[in-house]
Amino acid sequence: MSAELKSVQQQLKTLRQQIELYNYQYYVLNDPSVPDAEFDCLFRALQQMEQQYPHLITPESPTQRIGAAPVKAFAQVQHNTPMLSLNNAFDEDEVKAFDRRVSEGLAGLTANPIEYAVEPKFDGLAVTLRYENGLFKTGATRGDGYTGEDITHNLRTIKVIPLTLPVEKAPGFLEVRGEVLMLKADFIQLNKEQLQKGEKPFANPRNAAAGSLRQLDAAITATRRLMFFAYGIAPNRDALTPQDTHSAIMAYLARLRFPIARECAVVQGSAGLIAYYSSIAAQRERLPYDIDGVVYKVNALAQQEELGFVARAPRFALAHKFPAQEAMTRLLDIDVQVGRTGALTPVARLEPVFVGGVTVTNATLHNADEISRKDVRIGDTVIVRRAGDVIPEVVSVVLAQRPAQTRRFVMPDHCPACGARAVRPEGETVARCTGGLFCPAQRKQALLHFASRRAMDIEGLGEKLVNQLVDNAIVRTPADLYTLGITALANLARMAEKSAGNILAAIEKSKQTTLARFIYALGIRNVGEATAKDLARHFGSLDRLMDASMENLLQVRDIGPIIAQSIVDFFAEHHNREVIERLRASDVSWEESIGTASEPASINAISGKTFVLTGTLPNMTREDAKAQIEQLGGKVTGSVSKKTDYVIAGSDPGSKYEKAVNLGITILDETGLKNLLQTI
């Protein structure tokens, strides 16, 4: 080889390594070290050089991730080591039984408690990646566990999957096992694009990942943002791979630049397993990807080997699954519920069904359009979904099980609670009762909102009590709560004197509140908690807010004409002013201030600025950061827009981070935020 060619080859190698490193920093660590433009520039330099020397192109070059021709069908691949399944557990007893079986299986070989490596159970698709001498060769699906499909071309397009292992000495053979999935944020984005293109949205991130991965044309896969997480390797005797523990293998995989879950941990005994399950269950909604449980693995590889397998699952591992989030049941009837602002919501009455850890008997059907779209009829068998704390919803109908006799639902044209006319303005999906506060249903909802934790926080004033108070005409407006006497309360059914006393004490306690809470408690349409805080900060006093014109209101950050109009309308209502006066006369009070509207513009670097928090901060919880920012007059919102002033990014920040980069918004880490807080 000529000296020139050698030097070109060296340059190509350096360029490729540099690009792979930047890729890793960007996609795996979420911590880019160079601007996009610099990356693009390097990438183009590599492309140009490869064009000049096409015979020096290798399949592992980062330019070769995309470009394979579509295939007619996937080839079959035999797995060298079968891809087995895991035994499942659904409760603590089953976990304890597993730990006991493991201890018994290892009796005499080890002391209790057993050490376990624990990790999330990803809800994606299992794949295996074969590396030979450090180069990615073949990738396949799990298939039936013994034979899978060759999806190498598609896997190559996933940028977090290394094409070359970045170590001096790589094992001669290494098979990395893990899961391909789509991050929740990317799924939402993809579905938006599908709808814009007039194509069908995917039902969930798992389906989207599966649909993207099983494309005969890898060019389509390349347009989808897929993620991969490694969770192990096929047993390997190569001295270069760790031979002692599973956790050491995970650390090794991280060194090879495979993404591994940040939540991987090592715990002791069944108590450690159960504590880990609870901690992950509590974080589940906040994780950037879907999981359906956690996985426990005996950490010591020698112990794993000793325990071996039963049928198609290892004795040394267990999947502790979260309760199902979707279930099938029968729709018995559809009722119409009246909300605080009069919105009429059709609610499905269901045959009780256990889903996501609780028994569900009601689920929302959203509105009449949704019912038609899903063609839901009374008598149908339906799929119900419950995600986190969200109200359960009817997802779809199981048409195959539709009985001969079903009934279509018709949205009533009168409010079922007060009989007032229901109207549905042109272009809106929601029908509303026009009865206002004369409608007992709206009145009850308004009271419940007024008393709720984030509003006036009156403990014990729940649905049952409010129903009784309104139905017996004891309470009509929030102001009536403050004139309640012990006799009126204690006379109610199921109300002992002691609990009546507790309620009165809670009502008394709520009198001392904040302006923001009070504004929020009023239940002004379109005024949520964040807007209430903005209004309190801006005006500083309730009278100034009540007298504000449209023009004044539009000067408040983030308040547009719709919210401003709702506020003006609310205070124009004589009845609302009267209730407020009665509340003040009952000593409901808060501290007032001069408000930022009357202050000179921006008195510090935080006041009046909008912040977005993303990712996990190393030493502060998000709640802490939010509270500190708000205390100094800043505002914390959930999404990045042109109006955002700062994005505070922790680890694994996700798509908000990219959006901030694209919009050129200042991005700070925890230290940056602390510095900013300290300047004030």
- Residues 281-300: x where in contact with ligand IVH by CB under 6 A, - otherwise, as a string: --------------x-----
DSSP letters for 603-619: SSSSTT-EEEEESB-SS
Whichever of 86 and 129 has its CB closer to ligand IVH, that residue is: 86
Sign of CA dihedral 642, 643, 646, 647: negative
Sign of the dihedral defined by the CA atoms of residues 574, 580, 581, 582, in that order: positive
Which residue has its beta carbon closest to ligand IVH? 126
| Among 6, 96, 121, 498, the one annotated catalytic | 121
User: Could you tell me the smallest distance in angstroms from the CB atom of residue 259 to ligand IVH?
Assistant: 12
φ and ψ at 437, to 5 degrees? -75, 0
Q: Which of residues 599-658 bind ligand IVH (CB under 6 A)?
A: none
Q: In the beta sheet, which residues pair with residue 232?
A: 177
The minimum distance between CB 177 and ligand IVH, in angstroms, equals: 7
- Which CB atom, from 179 or from 670, has the smaller least distance to ligand IVH? 179
Nearer to ligand IVH, 81 or 662 (CB): 81
**Residue 566 CB, nearest approach to ligand IVH (Å):** 47
C-beta closer to ligand IVH: residue 317 or 620:
317
Pick one of 139, 162, 232, 342: the residue that binds ligand IVH (CB under 6 A). Answer: 232
Residues 6+ apart with CB under 8 A from 37: none
Binding to ligand IVH by residue 280, rule CB under 6 A? no
Contact between 119 and ligand IVH by CB under 6 A: the answer reads yes
Span interacting with ligand IVH, options 78-86, 102-110, 354-362, 574-582, rule CB under 6 A:
78-86
The residue among 265 and 597 lying less far from ligand IVH, judged by its C-beta, is: 265
Q: Which is nearer to ligand IVH, 85 or 541 (CB)?
A: 85
Show the binding pattern over residues 451-470: x = contacts ligand IVH (CB under 6 A), - = does not: --------------------
Binding window for ligand IVH (CB under 6 A); candidates: 120-128, 360-368, 381-389, 566-574: 120-128
Cβ proximity to ligand IVH, 89 vs 170, nearer residue: 89
| φ, ψ for residue 65, nearest 5 deg | -65, -40
User: What would the two tokens of residue 49 be?
Assistant: 């050089």
Would you count residue 98 as binding ligand IVH (CB under 6 A)? Answer: no
User: Nearer Cβ to ligand IVH, position 84 or 488?
Assistant: 84
Q: Closer CB to ligand IVH, residue 142 or residue 432?
A: 142
Number of residues in contact with ligand IVH under rule CB under 6 A: 15
Chain position carrying tokens 């020096």: 56
CB of 667 to ligand IVH, least distance (A): 31
Query: For this structure, is 96 an active site residue?
Result: no
State the minimum distance, in angstroms, from the CB of residue 94 to ligand IVH: 15
Q: Does 143 contact ligand IVH by CB under 6 A?
A: no
Helix residue ranges per DSSP H, 440-556: 440-451, 463-471, 478-481, 486-490, 497-510, 515-521, 529-539, 542-546, 550-554
User: H-helix or E-strand containing 277?
Assistant: helix 269-283
Under the binding rule (CB under 6 A), the answer on residue 231 touching ligand IVH is yes
* 670 within 8 A of 619, measured Cβ to Cβ: yes
How many residues comprise the chain?
A: 680
Q: Check: CB of residue 483 under 8 Å from CB of residue 559.
A: no
Alpha-carbon torsion, ordered 653, 658, 661, 663, to 10 deg: -120
* Residue 23 and residue 42 in contact, taking contact as beta carbons nearer than 8 Å: no
Written as one string, the DSSP assignment of 420-443 is PBEE--TT-S-EEES-GGGSHHHH
**Residues near 624 by beta carbon (within 8 Å), at least 6 away in sequence:** none
Q: Residue 459: which of 422, 503, 489, 401 has the closest Cα?
A: 503
Rule CB under 6 A: is residue 179 a binding residue for ligand IVH? Answer: yes
- Contact stretch for ligand IVH (CB under 6 A) within 119-127, 218-226, 359-367, 408-416: 119-127
Q: How far is the CB of 633 from ligand IVH (least distance, A)?
A: 44
**Position 314 contacts ligand IVH (CB under 6 A):** yes
Least distance (Å) from ligand IVH to the CB of residue 213? 13
Contacting range for ligand IVH; rule: CB under 6 A; set: 121-129, 241-249, 350-358, 387-395? 121-129
* Interface segment toward ligand IVH; rule CB under 6 A; list 116-124, 361-369, 374-382, 433-441: 116-124
Give the nearest distance from C-beta 99 to ligand IVH in angstroms.
17
Residue 122 binding ligand IVH, by CB under 6 A: yes
- Look-up of token digits 């204690």: 490
Interaction pattern, residues 421-450, with ligand IVH; x per rule: CB under 6 A: ------------------------------
CA distances from 124 to 26, 118, 144 (A): 22, 18, 16
Virtual CA dihedral for 427, 431, 436, 442, nearest 10 degrees?
-130
**Helix and strand totals (H; E) in the chain:** 25, 24
Tell which one of 46, 86, 617, 665 touches ligand IVH (CB under 6 A). 86
We find the least distance from the C-beta atom of residue 159 to ligand IVH, in angstroms, to be: 21
Which of 16, 65, 79, 121: binder of ligand IVH (CB under 6 A)?
121
Where do the H-state alpha helices sit in 573-643? 574-585, 622-631
Name the segment binding ligand IVH (CB under 6 A); options: 82-90, 168-176, 325-333, 572-580.
Answer: 82-90
Decide if residue 126 touches ligand IVH (CB under 6 A).
yes
Q: Is 252 within 8 Å of 240 (Cβ atoms)?
A: no
Smallest distance from ligand IVH to CB 175, Å: 12
CB of 317 to ligand IVH, least distance (A): 6
- Using the rule CB under 6 A, give the single segment among 118-126, 337-345, 501-509, 514-522 that binds ligand IVH: 118-126
- The neighbouring-strand residues paired with 343 are 432
d(C-alpha 378, C-alpha 391), whole Å: 20
Q: Which of 84, 234, 254, 488 binds ligand IVH (CB under 6 A)?
A: 84
Least separation in angstroms between CB 295 and ligand IVH: 4
Report the alpha-carbon distance of residue 335 to residue 333 in Å, rounded.
7
Cis-peptide into 113, omega within 30 deg: yes
- Among 34, 281, 287, 319, contact with ligand IVH (rule: CB under 6 A): 319
Sequential DSSP letters for 208-257: HHHHHHT-SSHHHHHHS--EEEEEEE-----TTS--SBHHHHHHHHHHTT
- Contact between 430 and 367 under an 8 Å Cβ cutoff? The reply is yes
- Per CB under 6 A, 222 contacts ligand IVH: no
Q: How far apart are the C-alpha atoms of 401 and 378, rounded to whole Å?
A: 13
The residues carrying an active-site annotation are: 121
Q: Which residues bind ligand IVH (CB under 6 A)?
A: 84-86, 119, 121-122, 126, 142, 179, 231-232, 295, 314, 317, 319
